[in-house]
Amino acid sequence: MTQIPKVVYHWKVKDFRGSSIVDLHTLTKRAPELFAGNQAKYDTSTLRKHMLTNNIVPNLGCLWNGAVQTSTIHPQAIVDAKRRHGIPVGEITEYFVIPVQRLLNDPDVKKMAHWNFPAMTPVRKLGFLFNMQQFGGFFGTWNVDDWPVLDQHYLDTTFENLSELTPFAEESYKEWGESYARGETPQVLTYQGLPHVFVLGEINIDGLDVIKVQ
C-alpha cells in the first residue's frame, strides 16, 4: 500500500518572490513592499495582533510572528466550509504543499511545534497572557502540552492531516455564517480551531507543489 505523504500547507502570496518562505518578522524586513501589498491577509484585531507580536511560542522560544505558520488541513476543505455556512470566499488562491519529512530533513528548519488549536478554556487564555514576552518567563511557560515538538518520532506516530474541520472550527464557522445571515460583517479568523505547525526557520520552495483553491 502506498503511504500518503504527511504535508502542511502555506498560503502563496501574489507576486511571490524569493527562494524560501519566511516568517512575518523576517518578511517585513526583507521584502517590506511584498508584505505591504498583501497586508490585508494579516489584518486582524488589535488584541490578536498584539498577541502575534508579543507572545512566545511554547517549545520554540520565538515570538508568534517569528515562526512560519502552516496548516494541516487541505485549504479546499476550508473554502468548502465557508460556502457551506454562507461565508464569502473571495478569489482563487494558491498554496504551497510542503511534505513534513522534507522539513525535518532541511538544515534551515531549526525546530517545529504542532499546535492543535484547542478550544480556549480560561486556563489556556491565562497561559497566553503569561506567555507574553513582557513577563520574561516570570510565570514559567504555559500551555506547553498543547505545543508538542514535531520531530521524527512525532511525525511517525502522532501527526496526521485533517480531512475535515474540527468541531471547534465548525462551530466558529457556523456562528460567523449566522452573523452574515443577519446582515453583520464578523471578523472571520479562517484558521481558528484548525491545527497549525509552527516552523522555526526558512522553508525552501524549490520543487514544492503549488495548488489552487476556489
pLDDT digits (tens, 9 = 90+) for 27-76: 777 777 666 655 555 555 566 666 667 888 999 989 888 999 999 999 99
Instruction: Establish how many alpha carbons lie within 13 A of residue 31's alpha carbon, considering only the half-sphere containing its beta carbon.
Output: 17
- Which positions ≥6 away from 177 have C-beta within 8 Å? 84, 85, 86, 87
**What is the structure's pLDDT at 132?**
77
DSSP SS3 for 46: helix
Give yes or no for residue 2 having a pLDDT over 50: no
**What is the structure's pLDDT at 81?**
96
**pLDDT tens track for 102-161:** 999 999 999 999 998 888 888 888 877 777 776 666 667 778 898 999 999 999 999 999
**Residue 26 Cα distances to 16, 22, 37, 67, angstroms:** 15, 6, 16, 9
Give yes or no for residue 3 having a pLDDT over 90: no
Our CA dihedral for 207, 37, 73, 55, rounded to 10 degrees, sits at 110
- pLDDT bracket for residue 164 (50, 70, 90): very high
Q: How many CB atoms lie within 10 A of CB 137?
A: 11
**Entry pTM:** 0.87
